[in-house]
Chains A and B, each alone.
Chain A
């Protein structure tokens, strides 16, 4: 980051002049300690790699069963979507929608939109409707809850183990990996440098 920039803290509105920010460092507001800017090292390549990995894991996690249970010779498995479907069939369409959006759609959209921004930038092109997509990513971010869903799976497994025998499905492992990859992918994004590049 060569040129100096003026930035207002988005949490307390204090104006800051940042002369230069070395790679890998983060500027904090001197009044409320909010993150003003962080200049990430090799952000584009790292976030591209992490988001592609995340997309693959996302498909695996949704394609196969999460958990399988066995009781009295009856086997029953469910995918993430199966859980949503069941709520809908029971008449709880509000919760079905809530789970569908927070555990599947928003996390998926977030990965796809990040790739939509990163791929053209990798080839020195400005993505179409870039500002709209960035706005979209920032709007849906608080609603992506895959990490919370993971905790939900763990609690369910502990609850179920008391009643039936539980077999972890293939999705469970990829879902677990996905949480880490997605967290890395989100933190590798550097929107400030995207604005500067485009």
Chain B
């Protein structure tokens, strides 16, 4: 028996049928026993995210000009600036969203991938919870991109201050998108495949 990804209808499948060509009788979606190529796809996306994360942190994310002085900020220097200048709540939000969450997400996915590949059967419930947390929290990384959107639209071509988006924003946006795809392509049921039986 296989459950449909889309409408969750449980379908009976005889072993004669080719499961890769099955469609759900209720909603017509293709039915897979597991998400296709989940592990290799997730690995590819996680590694892509890691690579993109380098230019996202090295290049400037914003360039502000105040009274003729141009000042470039990377994600990290922006966080440090806010903490030093006393607005530590903003520093903390940006640090959590732009540094802590993406790194945590990439590390947790790598840990889950390795543990599934090693056929580990330890603490599946905790691993599932970890996966759910990573899946829910990823979108909040977009905060800094939205902040840049708003500020850049308001402060431009002023006499005293000018604010421009830096090239790191493109890479950082890509990191967020790629890690969301990575979390989506990981199939949490793989965690449970190594648990043979369930005893109540």
Residues of A participating in the B interface, judged by any CB pair closer than 8 Å: 6-15, 30-34, 66-67, 69, 71-72, 74, 76-78, 82-87, 90, 92, 94-95, 98-99, 102-103, 131, 134-135, 138, 142-143, 145, 148-149, 151-153, 155-156, 158-160, 162-164, 191-192, 195
How distant is the Cα of A31 from the Cα of B94 in the complex, in angstroms? 36
Q: Could you tell me if B150 and A83 are in contact, using CB atoms closer than 8 angstroms?
A: yes
* Nearest Cβ on chain B to A1's Cβ, whole angstroms: 14
- For B3, list chain A residues within 8 Å (CB): 7-10, 13
Q: Could you tell me if B161 and A163 are in contact, using CB atoms closer than 8 angstroms?
A: yes
How distant is the Cα of A135 from the Cα of B23 in the complex, in angstroms? 14
How distant is the Cα of A159 from the Cα of B161 in the complex, in angstroms? 14
Q: Tell me which of B28, B93, B145, B150 contacts A98 (CB under 8 A).
A: B145
Q: Could you tell me if B170 and A92 are in contact, using CB atoms closer than 8 angstroms?
A: yes
Q: Tell me which of A76, A131, A142, A151 contacts B140 (CB under 8 A).
A: A151
- For A9, list chain B residues within 8 Å (CB): 3
Q: Could you tell me if A12 and B128 are in contact, using CB atoms closer than 8 angstroms?
A: yes
- For B1, list chain A residues within 8 Å (CB): 8, 15
Q: Tell me which of A74, A94, A95, A159 contacts B149 (CB under 8 A).
A: A95
Q: Knowing A10-B3, A32-B124, A148-B139, say if A83 contacts B149 (CB, 8 Å).
A: yes
In addition to A10-B189, A11-B188, A135-B29, 15 A-B residue pairs with Cβ atoms within 8 Å of each other are A8-B1, A10-B5, A12-B189, A66-B150, A71-B160, A78-B154, A83-B152, A95-B165, A131-B29, A134-B6, A151-B143, A153-B146, A156-B147, A158-B90, A159-B90
How distant is the Cα of A95 from the Cα of B198 in the complex, in angstroms? 47
How distant is the Cα of A95 from the Cα of B146 in the complex, in angstroms? 9
How distant is the Cα of A139 from the Cα of B148 in the complex, in angstroms? 27
Q: Which residue of B lies closest to A100 (CB)?
A: B149
* Nearest Cβ on chain B to A141's Cβ, whole angstroms: 10
Instruction: Determine the interface band of chain B, counting residues with CB < 8 A from chain A.
Output: 35 or more
- For B153, list chain A residues within 8 Å (CB): 78, 82-83, 85-87
How distant is the Cα of A175 from the Cα of B93 in the complex, in angstroms? 20
Q: Could you tell me if A72 and B198 are in contact, using CB atoms closer than 8 angstroms?
A: no
- For B28, list chain A residues within 8 Å (CB): 131
* Nearest Cβ on chain B to A97's Cβ, whole angstroms: 9
How distant is the Cα of A52 from the Cα of B12 in the complex, in angstroms? 39
B16 CB within 8 Å of chain A = no
* Nearest Cβ on chain B to A105's Cβ, whole angstroms: 15
* Nearest Cβ on chain A to B121's Cβ, whole angstroms: 13
- For B139, list chain A residues within 8 Å (CB): 142, 145, 148
Most chain A C-beta atoms within 10 Å of own C-beta, residue among B7, B26, B29: B7
How distant is the Cα of A66 from the Cα of B191 in the complex, in angstroms? 45
B159 CB within 8 Å of chain A = yes
Q: Could you tell me if A145 and B142 are in contact, using CB atoms closer than 8 angstroms?
A: yes
B84 CB within 8 Å of chain A = no
* Nearest Cβ on chain B to A98's Cβ, whole angstroms: 5
Q: Could you tell me if B170 and A95 are in contact, using CB atoms closer than 8 angstroms?
A: yes
Q: Could you tell me if A14 and B90 are in contact, using CB atoms closer than 8 angstroms?
A: no
Which 8 pairs of residues, A with B, have the shortest CB-CB distance? A152-B146, A8-B3, A131-B27, A12-B192, A78-B153, A83-B153, A83-B149, A156-B150
Q: Write the B19-39 contact mask toward A (1 if CB under 8 angstroms, else 0).
A: 000000011110000000000
